[in-house]
Amino acid sequence: MGKATGFLDFARTDKAAAAPEERIQNWNEFHSPLDRRQRQEQAGRCMDCGVPFCQNGQMLCGMISGCPLNNLVPEWNDLLWRGCEEQALSRLLMTNNFPEFTSRVCPALCEKACTCGLYGDPVTVRDNEYAIIEHGFSHELMQPIIPNVRSGKRVAVVGSGPAGLAAADTLNHRGHSVTVFEKADRPGGLLMYGIPNMKLEKDIVLRRTSLMEQEGVTFRLHTAVGTDISADELLREFDAVILACGASVPRDIPCEGRDASGIYFAVDFLTSTTKALLDGGLQEGNHISAKGKHVVVIGGGDTGNDCIGTCMRHGCESVVQLEMMPKLPDSRAEDNPFPEYPRISKTDYGQEEAIAVFGSDPRRYQTTVKAFLKDENGQLCGVKTVQLSFTKDAETGRLTPHEIEGSEEVLPCELCLIAAGFTGCDKGIAEQFGAQLNARSNLQTEALSHAVATEKVFTAGDMHIGQSLVVRAIREGRDAAAEVDKFLMGYTNLPGGAK
């Protein structure tokens, strides 16, 4: 695969990123692709390693190692190295419905499991994937594929995030008639409103949903199931229903002063900015603004970083990111061997931007909020924090936090963004369809199944497995589609589901 000595002959070269001070002046994606020769060399670094952990996609010690979609990484890297972009595109689309999304927002689980990364730099798998799919669109290779024969079966997909879109796309190509119900004004779910524009430009999402419409998928926007259309109606009108509404209940911070004005969940903050941009641009009063404000972001994950990047573009006065857990090591610890996902510290784009502008890392580890402070008008004016120490249970390894006496500090804050994850799915949707919830407040199904207790109702994505990655949501959608296909037809030839 690739060039036999490519990983020795060519150094890893990533797509160049615009300087932080430059890129925060706009809302555009900020990486510049390599030219064709350079990209071929990067693909040529993919060695014939014998055991391609990159496409493994298995859980190891509670974390995924390799691509959950089992992308045929060595195969399309080899084709890209040889200049066969069209064939590489064909191999890529065999396992991934939406490479244009994963090549932008996936944390590249494949690269973390790349054999080249054992003693050097891993292959630029994600950037290679980006090059293949964008070549496909720019050279008009991504044309509508309309089924020659329709099955006569109708499927409703509730939710148009990555899981819902993957299920709809897969079932439509199988020949079923699919209608996607979306309560928002635009399709895409978290792809549209949960991920900032500079990370995933929304024209990319609309480009794909437009292609799906040309292929026969129907999108019904501004349609909230339970309000605009009932569960009973869907069950009467469709042969199967897939619930892919995401993990929509954000985790709150219920401490003193929580009722202060100026505290928002991250998803609402990010949505308000993207919607304003799409509706005509950011203007005073049409979005939740961080301009000129001291901002505190609670949560150290990707969403928290997205909040930082968005605040930097608003023109915030300062930004602090609170992370409850200790800082991860800068390199693999002995108890985190390859090919486990590396539990190491990383500095993401938003944090880079804050460092460049304010001169220091915005992150404060082992710190949590003790109280929100408000002025006489009920407006947020500060956040009281406290530092934490941890004790480790010898049997379970679980860390228990303890407040450090005398470590309280008051941070100036007019805008606080809670990016502490999600606690489960919309219970109202579950009740309407007679679905049960498990201990994690996700829809209950049998192991390795997507079927809920109610006949002909299935689930996929974060609503099924809890908050996770876009790439896992796509896999969920594909697997659910295979199970639905078998339910409708008595068998399935789709990959991923039980035969």
Low-confidence ranges of the chain (pLDDT < 50): 498-499
Looking at residue 498, what is its pLDDT?
44
Structure confidence by residue, pLDDT tens digits, 44-93? 999 878 889 999 999 998 899 999 999 999 999 999 999 999 999 999 99
**Residue by residue, what is the 3-state secondary structure of 155-180?**
EEEECCCHHHHHHHHHHHHHCCEEEE
Report the C-alpha gap between 131 and 126 in whole angstroms. 9
- Whether residue 435 contacts residue 138, with contact meaning beta carbons closer than 8 Å, is answered with no
Does residue 467 sit in helix, strand or coil? coil
Looking at residue 499, what is its pLDDT?
36
Looking at residue 397, what is its pLDDT?
81
Report the C-alpha gap between 437 and 54 in whole angstroms. 33
CATH for the stretch 252-420: 3.50.50.60
Looking at residue 411, what is its pLDDT?
98
Does residue 142 sit in helix, strand or coil? coil
CA atoms within 13 A on the CB side of 419: 27
Tokens matching residue 187: 């399709």
- Whether residue 283 contacts residue 277, with contact meaning beta carbons closer than 8 Å, is answered with no
Structure confidence by residue, pLDDT tens digits, 345-373? 999 999 999 999 999 999 999 999 999 99
Looking at residue 496, what is its pLDDT?
65
CATH for the stretch 6-138: 1.10.1060.10
Spell out the domain ranges in the chain: 6-138, 154-248+423-489, 252-420
Q: What is the pTM of this model?
A: 0.96
Report the C-alpha gap between 38 and 44 in whole angstroms. 10
Fold annotation for 154-248+423-489: FAD/NAD(P)-binding domain (3.50.50)
154-248+423-489 with 252-420: one CATH topology? yes
